[in-house]
Amino acid sequence: MGTITVGKENSTSIDLYYEDHGAGTPVVLIHGWPLSGAAWEKQTAALLKAGHRVITYDRRGFGRSSKPAVGYDYDTFAGDLDVVLKTLDLRDVALVGFSMGTGEVTRYIGKYGTDRVRKAVLIGTLGPYLVKASDNIEGVDPSVFEGLKGAIRADRAATVFDFLKNFYNYDVNGGKLVSDRVLEDNWNVAAGASAIGTLQCVDAWVEDFRKDTAKNTVPTLIIHGDADRILPPDATSRRQAKMIKHVKFAEIAGGPHGLCWTHADRVNAELVPFVA
Q: Each residue of 226-266: pLDDT tens digit?
A: 999 999 999 999 999 999 999 999 999 999 999 999 999 99
Q: What total of structural domains would you count in the chain?
A: 1
Q: What is the pLDDT of residue 251?
A: 98
Q: What is the pLDDT of residue 38?
A: 98
Range of the domain at 213: 2-275
Cβ neighbours of residue 187 closer than 8 Å, sequence gap 6 or more: 157, 160, 161, 164
**Among the listed residues 236, 261, 246, the one whose alpha carbon sits nearest the alpha carbon of residue 124:** 236
Q: Print burial letters for 184-203: b (CB count within 10 Å at least 16), e (below 16).
A: eebbebbeebbeebbbbbbe
Residue 11 has pLDDT above 90, yes or no: yes
257 a catalytic residue? yes
Report the C-alpha gap between 233 and 242 in whole angstroms: 12
* Domain CATH code at residue 220: 3.40.50.1820
User: Across all residues in the chain, what is the average pLDDT?
Assistant: 97
Which among 31, 52, 224, 257 is annotated as catalytic?
A: 257
Cβ neighbours of residue 201 closer than 8 Å, sequence gap 6 or more: 33, 34, 61, 72, 100
Which among 99, 194, 237, 263 is annotated as catalytic?
A: 99
**Among the listed residues 10, 272, 273, 261, the one whose alpha carbon sits nearest the alpha carbon of residue 124:** 261
- 159-173 per-position pLDDT tens digit: 999 999 999 999 999
246 a catalytic residue? no
Q: What is the pLDDT of residue 186?
A: 98
- 38-94 per-position pLDDT tens digit: 999 999 999 999 999 999 999 999 999 999 999 999 999 999 999 999 999 999 999
Q: What is the pLDDT of residue 246?
A: 97
Which among 52, 224, 228, 263 is annotated as catalytic?
A: 228
Cβ neighbours of residue 128 closer than 8 Å, sequence gap 6 or more: 208, 209, 210, 213, 236, 239, 240, 243
Q: What is the pLDDT of residue 1?
A: 72
* Percentage of residues of the chain with pLDDT beyond 90: 99
- 84-124 per-position pLDDT tens digit: 999 999 999 999 999 999 999 999 999 999 999 999 999 99
Cβ neighbours of residue 122 closer than 8 Å, sequence gap 6 or more: 97, 102, 105, 106, 220, 221, 222, 223, 237, 240
228 a catalytic residue? yes
**Among the listed residues 17, 212, 43, 219, the one whose alpha carbon sits nearest the alpha carbon of residue 117:** 219
